[in-house]
Amino acid sequence: MTALRTLEAAAWAGEVAAAFVERLQSTPSLRVCLPTGATPIPVYDALAARIGRGDASFAQATVILLDEWLGLPPGDPARCDTRLRAQLLDRLPVPPAAVHTIEVDAPDLEATVARHAACSLDLDLVVLGLGINGHVGFNEPGSLPDSPTRVVRLAASSRRAAMARYGSATVPTAGITLGMDRILAARKVWLLVTGERKAGILRRALRDPEGPDCPASYLRRHRGLTVFTDSEAAALLG
């Protein structure tokens, strides 16, 4: 059953960060898959502040990156590993016990995909944003519940939205993503959704029949799904 937590915009990030701190307190060795993108930035700000005050620690936790672009050089400002480190990991007083990024610069992409799938077994928590076309991670429309960790061709809307925000000189056309199969196998899944522009796709994901046109709709199969949304994004849920 989906748990829906609708919060006022001013309180949203702090409440999500507080829930994350509770997870770390109860499970210090948390194995968590984290996203990048615009939506989690205020959560990471609030979480870094809470961790800095000593409310919890990542010292025993394992962090797994959700996805990564192909074709961007190391250190590129649009790369997911660059952004996750800048937005959260490098701000922690004690780093996580392990951080698994995606080795897109390695010569053997098939081996990279296999390593990412292997390190993403037995996840306690997967945190996701919601794409405007219903994607989660790089599981674009057309993905199925059993879609594996893989190289994917990215929708034009996803490429434009990300590159406009992060200033890369190169617009990649593909990436590697954690598969829907791994996401649905995690113990808990959190979907973070904010803003009026996401109201339509959130309604599609939670209220309309599930289908491959909106991969996020498959998250409703997960008994441990919690949707953290603000009142603007939840406006069409009724």
* pLDDT per position as a tens digit, 9-23: 999 999 999 999 999
Domain presence at residue 20: yes
Q: How far is residue 74's CA from residue 51's CA, in Å, rounded to a whole number?
A: 27
The answer to whether residue 116 is catalytic is no
**Long-range contacts of 4-7, Cβ-Cβ distance < 8 Å, separation of 24 or more:** 4/206, 4/226, 4/227, 4/229, 4/234, 4/237, 5/226, 5/227, 5/228, 5/229, 6/229, 6/230, 6/231, 6/234, 6/237, 7/228, 7/229, 7/230, 7/231
Domain presence at residue 236: no
How do beta strands 174-177 and 150-153 pair? antiparallel
Q: Who's near 9: CB < 8 A, 6+ residues apart?
A: 194, 230, 231, 232
Segment 35-52 mean pLDDT: 97
Residue in 68, 76, 116, 135 annotated catalytic: 135
How much is the pLDDT for 167? 65
How much is the pLDDT for 158? 73
How much is the pLDDT for 126? 98
Domain presence at residue 135: yes
How much is the pLDDT for 202? 98
Does 85 score more than 70 pLDDT?
yes
How much is the pLDDT for 96? 98
The answer to whether residue 139 is catalytic is no
Mean predicted lDDT score pLDDT of the chain: 95
The answer to whether residue 140 is catalytic is yes
Residue in 76, 81, 140, 230 annotated catalytic: 140
Domain presence at residue 237: no
33 neighbors 64 (Cβ within 8 angstroms): yes
- What's the domain count of the chain? 1
Domain presence at residue 238: no
The answer to whether residue 133 is catalytic is yes
Residue in 133, 139, 222, 230 annotated catalytic: 133
How much is the pLDDT for 11? 97
Q: How far is residue 139's CA from residue 141's CA, in Å, rounded to a whole number?
A: 7
Does 107 score more than 80 pLDDT?
yes
Segment 71-94 mean pLDDT: 94
Q: What are phi and psi of 113, to 5 degrees?
A: -60, -45
168 neighbors 77 (Cβ within 8 angstroms): yes
pLDDT in tens, 115-167: 999 999 999 999 999 999 999 999 999 999 999 999 999 887 777 666 666 66
Domain presence at residue 58: yes
Q: Environment class of residue 226 by beta-carbon count within 10 Å: exposed (0-12), middle (13-18) or buried (19+)?
A: middle
Segment 59-77 mean pLDDT: 94
Among 72-76, 170-174, 183-187, name the one with the lowest average pLDDT.
Answer: 170-174
Per-residue pLDDT band at 173 (split at 50, 70, 90): confident
How much is the pLDDT for 170? 76
Segment 85-111 mean pLDDT: 97
CATH of the domain at 20: 3.40.50.1360
- The residue with tokens 């952004």 is 83
Per-residue pLDDT band at 89 (split at 50, 70, 90): very high
* H or E stretch covering 7: strand 3-7
Per-residue pLDDT band at 168 (split at 50, 70, 90): low
How much is the pLDDT for 7? 96
How do beta strands 188-193 and 67-69 pair? unpaired
Q: How many CB atoms lie within 10 A of CB 218?
A: 23
12: three-class secondary structure by DSSP: helix
Beta-ladder partners of 79: none
- The residue with tokens 């799904």 is 225
Range of the domain at 169: 3-230
Segment 41-54 mean pLDDT: 98
66 neighbors 101 (Cβ within 8 angstroms): no
Q: Could you report how far apart the first and last alpha carbons of the chain are, in Å? A: 17
